[in-house]
Amino acid sequence: MSNPLEFTGERFTPECVREIWYEHVHRYVFAGDLVRGKTILDAACGEGYGSAYLARTARSVFGVDISADAIAHARSRYLSDNLEFQIADCCRMPFQDDQFDCIVSFETLEHLEDQSGLLKEFRRVLNPGGFLLISSPDKAVYTDRHHNDNEFHVRELYRDELDALLAEQFPVRKLLGQKLLFHSAIWSQGQGSRFKVQQSSNEEATTRTDPGHDAMYYIAVCAAGEADLPRLEADLWLFDDKQESVYEHYHHEIRKNMSAGELLAERDRELEQLRSQLAAQSVKGAESIPWWRRLFRGS
C-alpha cells in the first residue's frame, strides 16, 4: 500500500478526519447502492478512494483525473480487476460516446470555469438511459453564510444557478441536500423500521434499519390494549434547534483548539530560536576564554 497523498486542500484524502471525512465518504456510500452492476465513470476521482469504493458493487469503474500525481497514487494504492485509473481532462475525455451507465462527479463543478462544457462532455459519454450523480456546495451557505474561502474554487453556484446549469443537458433532475447535522434521535425498537442508516466501520460501509448505536434512554408508549396505543407515523424522529447550538459549540471548540495549537507551535518555534541563540552565545563566550584558563577549568 502506498503512502497517503499529501492533503493540500485541493482534493480530499481518506486520512482526513471529522466533518470533511463524513461529507466526502458519505457521498460515495450513498452512490454505492445506485451503481450496482453498472459501468461507472468517476470524473475527477482525486486520489482514488471513491472509485475503489464504487468498484465493490459496480461492474467496472474508470477513475479519471487531470493530476498525474493523483492518478499515479491511485494506481499504486487501489488494485482491483474491475478498476482502472487514467489521466484525463474531464472536459475532453478519451472515451467513446454512450460508454457509461453512470457518471459520478463529486465536488468538481466549482473547480472549473467551463461548467457547461463539463456537463456537455458528461452527456456525450453517458449512455441515453444512464444517469449522473454530481455534487457542488451551495454558495449561499458554504460561502455567504459560513464564510468559507476556498482558494481552489473557481466558480461556486447558488441553488437556482446549479439547477439551470444542469437543465442544459439533463431535463429531469432530483435535488438532494447534504449537511453534517447534530440531532437528538428517537427511533423505533421494533422490526421493519422505515428508514435507512449507512454506517462505516473499519473502511466497510453497511446499510442498517437502525442507527447502529445503543440507546441512552428508552421511551415507552403504553396502553391496556393494542387498539388503545396511538398510531406512530414514523420510525425515526430527529430534533434540533434552529440555531444549531450543538453544532456551533462543536465548531467553537474546534476553532479554539486549532488556535491553541497554533499558539503552542509558535511558542515552540520561539523557544527553539532562543535555545539556538543561547547555544551560540555559549560557544562564542567559551571561545573568548584564554586556552590556559579553559584547560584549568576542564581539570
Q: Round to whole Å and give the CA distance between 136 and 164.
A: 14
Query: Does 24 share its domain with 113?
Result: yes
Give domain status of residue 177, yes or no: no
Query: Does 136 share its domain with 221?
Result: no
Q: Which of 114, 134, 167 is the last residue of a domain?
A: 167
pLDDT (tens digit, 9 = 90+) per residue, 88-108?
999 999 999 999 999 999 999
**Domains in the chain: how many in total?**
3
Give domain status of residue 37, yes or no: yes
Query: Does 36 share its domain with 135?
Result: yes
Q: Quick one: pLDDT at residue 158?
A: 93
Query: Does 31 share its domain with 132?
Result: yes
Give domain status of residue 45, yes or no: yes
Q: Which residue has the cell 468498484?
A: 55
Q: Quick one: pLDDT at residue 10?
A: 56
Q: Quick one: pLDDT at residue 112?
A: 95
Query: Does 159 share its domain with 204?
Result: no
Q: Which residue has the cell 432530483?
A: 174
Query: Does 257 share its domain with 217?
Result: no
Query: Does 90 share its domain with 37?
Result: yes
159 exposed, middle or buried (CB, 10 Å; 0-12, 13-18, 19+)?
Answer: middle
Give domain status of residue 110, yes or no: yes
Q: Are 174 and 133 in contact (CB under 8 A)?
A: no
Query: Does 227 share its domain with 161?
Result: no
Q: Quick one: pLDDT at residue 7?
A: 58
Query: Does 57 share its domain with 137?
Result: yes
Give domain status of residue 178, yes or no: no
Query: Does 234 share its domain with 252?
Result: no
Q: Quick one: pLDDT at residue 6?
A: 63
Give domain status of residue 38, yes or no: yes
pLDDT, tens digit only, all 299 positions of the chain: 566 656 555 566 666 556 778 788 888 988 998 999 999 999 999 999 999 999 999 999 999 999 999 999 999 999 999 999 999 999 999 999 999 999 999 999 999 999 999 999 999 999 999 999 999 989 998 899 888 888 889 999 999 999 999 999 999 999 888 887 777 877 777 666 667 777 776 667 777 767 777 777 677 777 677 888 778 777 878 777 788 777 777 777 877 887 787 888 888 888 888 888 888 887 776 666 665 565 555 54
Q: Round to whole Å and give the CA distance between 270 and 171.
A: 60
Beta strands in 149-278 (DSSP E): 184-187, 197-201, 204-208, 236-239
User: Residue 118: CB partners within 8 Å, gap ≥ 6?
Assistant: 90, 91, 105, 108, 109, 112
From 38, 37, 12, 40, select the one nearest 26 (Cα to Cα): 12
Query: What's the number of CA atoms in the CB half-sphere (13 Å) around residue 186?
Result: 11
Q: In the structure grid, which three cell numbers stand for residue 147, read together?
A: 464564510
Structural domain boundaries enclosing 291: 245-298
Query: Does 223 share its domain with 280?
Result: no
Query: Does 152 share its domain with 261?
Result: no
Give domain status of residue 151, yes or no: yes
Q: Are 40 and 58 in contact (CB under 8 A)?
A: yes
DSSP string, 143-173: IIIT----TT-S--B-HHHHHHHHHTT-S--
Q: Quick one: pLDDT at residue 293?
A: 62
Note the pTM of the prediction, 2 decimals.
0.72
Give domain status of residue 129, yes or no: yes
Q: Which residue has the cell 437556482?
A: 160
